[in-house]
Amino acid sequence: MKIDEVRRHVTTPLTSPAFAPVVPRFTDREYLNIVYRTDAEALRAVVPEPLEIDEPLVRFEVMKMGDVSGYGPYTEAGQAIEVSFDGERGEYLHAMYLDNFPATASGREVSAYPKTVGAPSLYVDHGVLVGTLDYGTLRVATATMGYKHHELGHDEAAAQITVPTFMLKTIPGYDGSPRVQELVRTEITDVVVKEAYTGPARLQLFQHVLAPLADLPVLEVVSASHLRTDLTLAPVKPVFDYREGARS
């Protein structure tokens, strides 16, 4: 393989890439979102500067991907923390757990999504929407919401998931020190809300050393929503370089 041919490859392994080189379109992405109040000091311990915390709010989400170009169906769960950067309000993606390896590898390598392995699920049980997350054989989160109790305005629903999203991108060098260390920004685009509901909800988090969701404890459930959407993820853009200590 010639040098110029190598340069045209942007994924590894070289001849059998872990994910397809496509911009995925999400069709029938179903959300269970539960926003809860947590301990402010716990948030300060995990949210990197220069992001700022106003209210100590976390959104626990379970997302069932009906169909994704390049990856197929899968399920994902995680935590997003309400933050602001240079006066712009958004969310910091703290943790994401998936049951699809190509989507996990692509999210980390191409962008900066904090993705790792997990076993999330989203289903209806006796009039209750249930979202769970297992790590290995152990349960680490259980969320429940009344199934389609009250309709939610589609504009309000779209506003919940289209806020700017911030993530930390770190790529180590061969000596173990960071070769790339940036705060990046992205957002959801081309969103179509097909269904949107709200209702009563509960959330339980369980202690686990490798899936420490419970380090951000649930003090009060603030709101909940159940959405079904089509959408696309915009490419990430760097906004702060930690190695240079400056905004991009």
Q: Which of 2, 64, 115, 237 is catalytic?
A: 115
160 CA to centre of own chain: 13
Active site residue 115: yes
Terminal C-alpha separation, the chain: 36
- 13 vs 10, 105, 173, 214, CA distance in Å? 9, 11, 18, 35
- Looking at the DSSP bridge assignments, the partners of residue 237 are 185
Residues with catalytic annotation?
115
